Chains A and B, each alone.
Chain A
Amino acid sequence: MIAFEHVGKRYGGRYDALAHLDFRVRRGEMVFLTGHSGAGKSSLLRLIMRLERPSRGRILVAGHDIDRLHHSQVPFYRRQIGVVFQDHQLLFDRSIYHNVALPLEIQGVEPREAARRVRAALDKVGLLHREKALPIELSGGEQQRVGIARAVVNKPALLLADEPTGNLDPQLSADIMRLFEDFHRIGTTVMIASHDLALIARLRHRMLRLHEGRLVADEEAA
């Protein structure tokens, strides 16, 4: 599903945020990406979303070299990836319902079909009863779950998450990880950046460890 071939990323010509990255993620796999703060986890995910472009090497997603996408194709590429952002990226002037519906609105999904899918996604994250609320009225964990609902409402084949359990308590973090495992179980390829090593270790999935922009460990699920 994802292949990095000798990928390097340099910001502003000074030093390499990422270097010599070579790995593959198979279709339907669930992978954790870990490393110290500043190791390059977010940068790696941004490369996959094509928010940044590699300074060196190639990134293939579903067999396509994403660096060769014309910029007019990029939006259509992004629609095929569900992303949960480190800082939610919710719109605070819209209800939960409309936040989750946003990707469908962008793709022009017919409203009745959209409503059905939004409710299904909200149901999945346990927030169906809050659909009329504004994001500001929700707790941090609930906002994170809205972000997840928005990422999966489109049934993407690839789901990326950047610190989805950032500031949550252990119980909530475990709940959220269980949600991702559910999507993994139905065939979605999932890649999660996290530095919560204790939690990751318990979940027994493949783990890529970054250190100063280099891949220092690739541990298959025990």
Chain B
Amino acid sequence: MSRESAPARGARSHRATTGSRWRAWLRHHRAMGQDSARRLLRHPLGSLLTMLAIAIALVLPAGLWLALDGARLLDAELDESATLTVYLAPRVEAAEAARIEQALAARPGVAETRLITAAEGMAEFQQALGLEDALTRLPGNPLPASIVVHPVETAPAVVRDLAEGLKAVAGVEEVRLDLAWLERLRHLAELGRRVTLGLAVLFGLGVLLVVGNTIRLAVENRRQEIEVVTLIGATHPFVRRPFLYSGAWFGLGGGLLAWGLLTLGSDWLAAPVSALAASYGASFSLPRLGPAGSAMLLACSTLLGWLGAWIAVSRHLAQIRPR
């Protein structure tokens, strides 16, 4: 039929229909967006429960991600405090020590140096231990002079190379770098990242299942309608559209609830966390979802809802055949 009517129309009317088809497509999107929102509101409790299930699935990975983000800030702070302590041989005189310090400061890879003379070292030691009396009774000062070196780069391998180089300098007895705990912390952070990623994937699947199940029921409820519109020439995207919007609304609602729960949660945990951090002499507070993080959370949840709906509807459309 289309072939016979085509020549009668013309190229001009064809161009016109492209524009109107585009407008019709937009119109249907708007209508379905509104219609699916109205359907959600028609069953407020059921919709809320679905969104809550989504929110709970989102809160745990999002919370962990926030905590990791905080740990990353802490990590950066620690990087700055990564230093090497270069102990000089006991026989090195004060003037010699100053010269060595300058030599070290001039080396590539060294950002900053600070000389701690034998006397200063003793003073610090006494102060730290409160052993003034015992130490003053010692004959002479047993402590060597030392130089604290701040490296330019703090990656463990680079620092280790730098330490090797410093060890070879004349007058240097020992170089100590306390990287082990820093590395341990890094491994821990990496572990945390992977656990978070794993949980995010699992709980993301959970969201898909929650939305998928809800949409599956909605499709089942509107089966007759789907059959009828298919009979009279509806395309699959047309049939799918209202359900995809429902899924996206569920996702968005779940995302908003999750956002609320996270905000409440970090308020609730803020006091004990900063008290704990203070007891370690660190200033650490739970980071909050900024505008970018919030947008990310909502975008992810909306997308997950949409995807869950897509999977459910597509699986079902294949089964629904008009009678």
Q: Which residues of A contact B (CB under 8 A)?
A: 49, 51, 61-64, 72, 75-80, 83, 85, 89-91, 93, 102-103, 105-111, 150, 157-158
> Footprint of A on B, CB under 8 Å?
1-4, 20-21, 23-25, 27-28, 224-225, 227-235, 238, 321-322
Contact A108 B24 (CB under 8 A): yes
In the complex where A62-B1, A108-B21, A110-B20 touch, is A102 in contact with B231 (Cβ < 8 A)?
no
Q: Chain B interface mostly helix, strand, loop or mixed? A: helix
The 3 A-B pairs with the shortest beta carbon distances in the complex, nearest first, are A108-B24, A79-B233, A78-B233
Q: In the bound complex, do residue B228 and residue A91 qualify as a contact, i.e. CB atoms below 8 Å apart?
A: yes
Q: How many Å lie between the Cα of A51 and that of B322 in the bound state?
A: 7
Q: Is the CB of B233 within 8 A of A103?
A: yes
A80, B231: Cβ atoms closer than 8 Å: no
B125 to chain A, nearest CB (A): 83
Compute how far the CA of A62 lies from the CA of B322 in the bound complex, rounded to whole angstroms: 24
The answer to whether A62 and B4 touch across the interface, beta carbons within 8 angstroms, is yes
Select one of B27, B229, B230, B231 contacting A108, CB under 8 A.
Answer: B27
Q: A182–B230 Cα gap in the complex (Å)?
A: 27
Q: Are A75 and B234 in contact (CB under 8 A)?
A: yes
Chain B residues with Cβ below 8 Å from A77 are 233
Find chain A residues with CB under 8 A from B230 CB: 75
Residues of chain A lying within 8 A (CB to CB) of residue B232: 78-79, 83, 102-103, 106, 150
The reply to whether A85 and B234 form a contact with Cβ atoms under 8 Å apart is no
Q: Of the candidates B3, B21, B24, B321, which one forms a contact with A64 in the assembled complex, judged by CB atoms under 8 Å apart?
A: B3
Give the CA-CA distance A127 to B233 in the complex, in Å.
24
Give the contacting residue for B238; candidates A80, A85, A89, A106; CB below 8 A. A106
Cα distance A76–B238 when bound, in Å?
A: 12
Determine the chain A residues whose CB is within 8 A of the CB of B2 once the complex forms.
62, 76, 80
Residues in A whose Cβ lies below 8 Å from that of B233: 75-79, 103, 106-107
Sample (29) of A-B pairs whose CB atoms are under 8 Å apart: A49-B231, A61-B1, A62-B3, A62-B4, A72-B235, A76-B2, A76-B233, A76-B235, A78-B231, A78-B233, A79-B233, A83-B231, A83-B232, A85-B231, A89-B228, A91-B225, A102-B228, A103-B232, A106-B229, A106-B232, A106-B234, A107-B24, A108-B20, A108-B24, A108-B25, A108-B27, A110-B20, A110-B23, A111-B27
